[in-house]
Amino acid sequence: MQRDAFTIRLARSTDLDFMAEIEIDAFVTLRQALGREDDGRTVPRDKLQRALDAKLLLVAADDLDHPFAFLAAAELDGAIYVVEIDVMQRWQRKGVGRRLMLTVIEAARTRGASGVTLTTDRYVPFNAPFYASLGFKVLDEHQMPAGLSEILKFEIDHGAGSERRVAMALWF
Q: Up-side HSE of residue 56: CA atoms within 13 Å toward CB?
A: 23
pLDDT digits (tens, 9 = 90+) for 24-42: 999 887 666 566 565 567 8
DSSP state of 6: -
SS3 category, 34: helix
Structural domains of the chain sorted by starting position, each given as residue range(s) with its CATH number in brackets: 7-171 (3.40.630.30)
62: part of which helix (H) or strand (E)?
A: none
pLDDT band at 1 (very low <50, low <70, confident <90, very high): very low
pLDDT digits (tens, 9 = 90+) for 56-84: 999 999 999 999 999 999 999 999 999 99
Amino acid at 90: R
Enumerate residues 6+ apart whose C-beta is below 8 A from 162. Answer: 156
pLDDT of residue 123: 79
Amino acid at 76: L
pTM greater than the 0.85 cutoff: yes
